[in-house]
Amino acid sequence: MITVGIDVGSMTAKAVLLNDNEWLSVIRPTGCSPRQSAREAFDELLQEVGISTGEISHITGTGYGRIALDFIDNAVTEITCHARGAHYLVEGTDLVIDIGGQDSKVIRTDGQGNVIDFAMNDKCAAGTGRFLQVMASALGADVSELAVLSRGAEPVEISNMCTVFAESEVVSLLAQGVAKENIIAGIHRSVARRVAAMAGRLGTGSKVTFTGGVARNAGVKEFLAEELGAEINVVSASQLAGALGAALLAREMAKISLRRLDYG
């Protein structure tokens, strides 16, 4: 059975095609039209495998843009999808830390991919990928090079959580002559602290998996491990956990409707 999961985040649209235990993915920048970029990612995926829409049993959409999608069979929140996807990627995960472009979430699960409890950041960008992006541009760096630039550096204290204030704090630290790498390390630690505080309310997990775009940042990961006092699992496909979870849930949905057909 072939199913597809589409995860439309604020920065990227991800599509995953799942066939038994094999899966394939496409990632696209979201740009200004979440619906269009999701459609493009989806079409590209179909082309790659050389199949048509008709051969797909079920498509599940997730992510903040899920509601705008008109070619999906159902929509599920990214919280449920990330829990499922993380468990698939790292079996037995019971705490998922997902830091995406515009929000961060901590999800406690039962170790089987089912959500028990969760916390999510409020309206502001503190502790999200957006926060890192704003700080990167204040430092004249690209967000993808932050981790490399700050490897082994001593973090300075960034006291402001609010993106706007933290940005001016960074600018004034630069003016004071503080080394860039120390500032970056400080920024990473600030994100990690923010998210760890959220996790604290849910209780610690024994197997922590870090998902979302920011999971690729080794600096944030390291501070997270320090703040949580736990080992953090990141796999190369961490960014795809949401879309993968959606594809897995799509498979469950398809099986349920098949069973219904059997009865009918």
Partner 1 sequence: MRPETMRIVDDLRDQNILNLEHAKRENQKIVGMYCAYSPKELVLAAGALPVSLCGTRQEPIAAAEKILPRNICPLIKSSFGFAITDTCPYFRMSDYVIAETTCDGKKKMYEILKDYKPMHVLHLPQGTNRPGALKWWTDELYLLKDQLEENLGVEISRESLREAVKLVNKERLAMRKLHELNKVDPAPLSGMDMLTSLWMKGFNVDVEEGIELISQLAEEVEEIARQGASPFAAGTPRILLTGCPVGMGSEKVLRLLEECGGSVVCLENCSGFKAVDTLVDEDEARDPIEAIAEKYLQIPCSCISPNEGRFDLIDKMIDEYHVDGLVDLTWQACHTYNVEGELLNQYVKEKYDLPYLHLETDYSTSDLQQLQTRIGAFIELLNNRRKA
The two counts, helices (H) then strands (E), for the chain are 8, 10
Residues with Cβ within 8 Å of residue 193, at least 6 apart in sequence:
223, 227
145, 132 Cβ separation under 8 angstroms: no
Output the CA–CA distances (angstroms, integers) from residue 68 to 24, 90, 232, in the order listed. Answer: 23, 30, 33
The stretch near partner 1 (CB under 8 A) out of 115-123, 128-136, 145-153, 218-226 is 115-123
- Please compute, for residue 3, the number of CA atoms within 13 A of its CA located in the half-sphere on the CB side: 23
Task: Rule CB under 8 A: choose which of 114, 137, 172, 257 binds partner 1.
Answer: 114
Amino acid at 27: I
Task: Rule CB under 8 A: choose which of 80, 150, 217, 238 binds partner 1.
Answer: 80
Closest distance to partner 1 from the beta carbon of 197 (Å): 14
Closest distance to partner 1 from the beta carbon of 222 (Å): 28
Measured from the CB atom, the residue of 75 and 220 that comes closer to partner 1 is: 75
| Per-position x/- string for 57-76, each x denoting binding to partner 1 as judged by CB under 8 A, each - no binding | -------x--x--------x
For residue 131, state whether it binds partner 1 (rule: CB under 8 A).
no
For residue 115, state whether it binds partner 1 (rule: CB under 8 A).
yes
For residue 154, state whether it binds partner 1 (rule: CB under 8 A).
no
Distance CA 233, CA 251 (A): 25
The stretch near partner 1 (CB under 8 A) out of 112-120, 132-140, 167-175, 229-237 is 112-120
Closest distance to partner 1 from the beta carbon of 114 (Å): 6
Closest distance to partner 1 from the beta carbon of 31 (Å): 18
Q: In what order do the strands lie in the sheet with 115-120?
A: 115-120, 104-109, 95-99, 208-211, 232-233
Distance CA 105, CA 166 (A): 21
| Per-position x/- string for 181-210, each x denoting binding to partner 1 as judged by CB under 8 A, each - no binding | ------------------------------
For residue 47, state whether it binds partner 1 (rule: CB under 8 A).
no
186, 151 Cβ separation under 8 angstroms: no
**Binding region for partner 1 (CB under 8 A):** 64, 67, 76-80, 103, 114-118, 120, 122-123
